[in-house]
Amino acid sequence: MKHILLSLTLIMALPLSTYAQAPELINATIKHDKAERPCIMVAIESEPKVLKEAWHDYIKDNYDIKLKGIGFLANKDLLDAEKVLFKAISDKEMNFYTFFDEKKDKTEMYVFASLGYDIYLDRGEYPQEYRAMRNIVDKFVSEYVPSYYQQQVTESQELLSSLEKEISNLMGDISNNQKEIEKNLRAIDKLKDKNKDLSSELDKKQDRLKEVQQLLEQRQEKLKEAKKELQ
């Protein structure tokens, strides 16, 4: 059983592989106020609420724009900041929107803005403003994706550490009970039954350990690829 702990140590030191791909920003459209509006769409492997909170904080910290719709007792699909001066995009007052749509294991994020009623930023009439908005999304993605994968790797490592301790404790219990069996012949049947239960639990933990090891490898691979793509 000692090889189990050794294999865990090796897993923790595995290099990241090259399977994850950096999310691609797409020029798309989204229906808003009963019409299709130009927007920037990107699909990110993340839970919607986590992504919303990260986007909200990023826009607030970097551009002093507060998006409404996420926070205490709020978790809307459409975040907005209306009648704001988003100087990184335009000197004109605007309405800034972001819509989030959960799709299987990814969340689609649609970013768009209007300068007034039925005046939405697009590549044709407002190329400079649209490009500035796209750059903001691109910078956010380049920071968020590696951070998200790193967090997943950290969580897997913490789970591995917990399983290591549980397995070590179970192995210690089995060893101690085995010694007791040798010392107490009269209680040998009872202790053997207890060891059977412990061994069964150990097998389950080892099976779970293998699953977590595979999960860690996958997430490490995605993190490395994400970093490489965004360099």
Taking only the tens place, the pLDDT of each residue in 157-189 is: 888 888 888 898 888 888 888 888 887 777 677
Strand spans (E) along 117-182: 119-120
> Which residues are CB-neighbours of 99 under 8 A, at least 6 positions away?
30, 32, 39, 77, 78, 79, 109, 110, 112
The pLDDT tens digits for 23-76 are: 999 999 999 999 999 999 999 999 999 999 999 999 999 999 999 999 988 999
The structural domains of the chain, with segments of one domain joined by +, span 2-15+154-229, 26-148
In this prediction the pTM is: 0.67
> Which residues are CB-neighbours of 44 under 8 A, at least 6 positions away?
23, 51, 106, 107, 109, 141, 144, 145, 148
Tokens of 171: 């192995």
What per-residue string of b and e applies to 167-194 under the rule 16 or more CB within 10 Å gives b? beebbeebeebeeebeeeeeeeeebeeb
Backbone angles phi, psi at 144, to 5 degrees: -70, -45
Tokens of 49: 């609420």
Fold of 26-148: Alpha-D-Glucose-1,6-Bisphosphate; Chain A, domain 4 (3.30.530)
Nearest to 60 by CA among 146, 136, 142, 161: 136
More confident of the two residues 2 and 213: 213
DSSP bridge partners of 38: 29
